[in-house]
Amino acid sequence: SAVISQKPSRDICQRGTSLTIQCQVDSQVTMMFWYRQQPGQSLTLIATANQGSEATYESGFVIDKFPISRPNLTFSTLTVSNMSPEDSSIYLCSVDIQGAGNEQFFGPGTRLTVL
Amino acid sequence: QKEVEQNSGPLSVPEGAIASLNCTYSDRGSQSFFWYRQYSGKSPELIMFIYSNGDKEDGRFTAQLNKASQYVSLLIRDSQPSDSATYLCAVKDNYGQNFVFGPGTRLSVLP
């Protein structure tokens, strides 16, 4: 498994501003993922972040809205830009551990409220 | 489009009973299947994974996979109130790196 931390754990932001969420892992991992979980919903993948390359975004998510950095094998950031109330959600990072099942482990999440 | 379906619930079972959670998936190329538990306000935590047809047991949990029917289930024996949570089914194929999550089933174990 892996120990994953996220900052901030929660935030309340004003419409039109941006928030950068940090994800730190206690071991080097190749792949990191960013998910969004809206209230009462399941997880939706935003993008996959590999070190040394551009993030790969899923349908419906664009780099201008959700820029991602992956400067090394233990760290990534997700920025939610020009926020609106519809961006209120929990944002989760996860890592893919190349174990027996290639399972994913999740960070504790960042609860974002946009007013 | 790859889809994973689950009954949203809530599924209510009495304490000590067996809880049965079901999941179907659309992509026949799917190879690995995962069950996550998510308590309210917390992030998902992995319970177990399975990739071969048949049963896989881990303590009170048994995962069952039937690739021909594109069906995976999770049985929880001797259910406890602490098992009350949302259970997420996730599916992965060998060609992609991404998981596809189902909508989750909310389980309520009544004392």
Phi, psi of A112 (to 5 degrees): -110, 130
Q: How far is A41 from chain B (nearest CA, A)?
A: 6
CB contacts of B102 in chain A (<8 Å) are 42
Q: Is the pLDDT of residue B75 over 80?
A: yes
With CB atoms and an 8 Å threshold, state whether B44 touches A33: no
For chains A and B, CB pairs below 8 A equal 41
How high does pLDDT run on average in chain B?
Answer: 92
- pLDDT, tens digit (0-9, with 9 covering 90-100), for A19-62: 999 999 999 988 899 999 998 888 999 999 988 888 999 999 99
The kind and range of the H/E element at B59 are none
Mean pLDDT, range A88-111, rounded to an integer? 86
State the nearest Cα–Cα gap between A42 and chain B, in angstroms. Answer: 5
**Who's near A12: CB < 8 A, 6+ residues apart?**
A113, A114, A115
**A101 interfaces chain B, CB cutoff of 8 Å:** yes
Mean pLDDT over each residue of chain A, to the nearest integer = 92
CB B100 within 8 A of CB B91: yes
Q: State which residue of chain A sits closest to B88, comparing Cα positions.
A: A42
- Please say if the pLDDT value at position B94 is more than 70: no
Residue with tokens 């309340």: A12
Place B70 in a pLDDT band, splitting at 50, 70 and 90.
very high
Shortest CA distance from A40: residue in chain B: B103
Residues contacting residue A99 through CB under 8 Å, at least 6 positions apart: none
% of chain B at pLDDT higher than 70 = 95
Nearest CA in chain B to A34: B98
Q: What is the pLDDT of residue A41?
A: 87
Using a CB-CB cut-off of 8 Å, the residues of chain B touching A33 are: 98
Q: Does A41 touch chain B if contact means CB atoms closer than 8 Å?
A: yes
Confidence tier at A96 by pLDDT (50, 70, 90): confident
Q: What is the pLDDT of residue A101?
A: 61
pLDDT band for B87, please (50, 70, 90 cuts): very high
Residues of A within 8 A of B32 (CB-CB) are 101-102
pLDDT of B95 over the 70 cut: no
Contact flag B43-A101 (C-beta cutoff 8 Å): no
Cβ contacts (< 8 Å) between A100 and chain B: which residues?
49
Reported as a pLDDT band with limits 50, 70 and 90, residue A103 is confident
Grouping H, G, I as helix, E, B as strand and the rest as coil, residue B50 is strand
Query: Could you read off the pLDDT of B14-26 as tens digits, one per residue?
Result: 999 999 999 999 9
Average pLDDT over residues A54-71: 94
Which residues of chain A lie closer than 8 angstroms to B103, CB-CB? 41-42
Structure tokens at A64: 């201008």
The band of B6, judged by pLDDT with boundaries at 50, 70 and 90, is very high
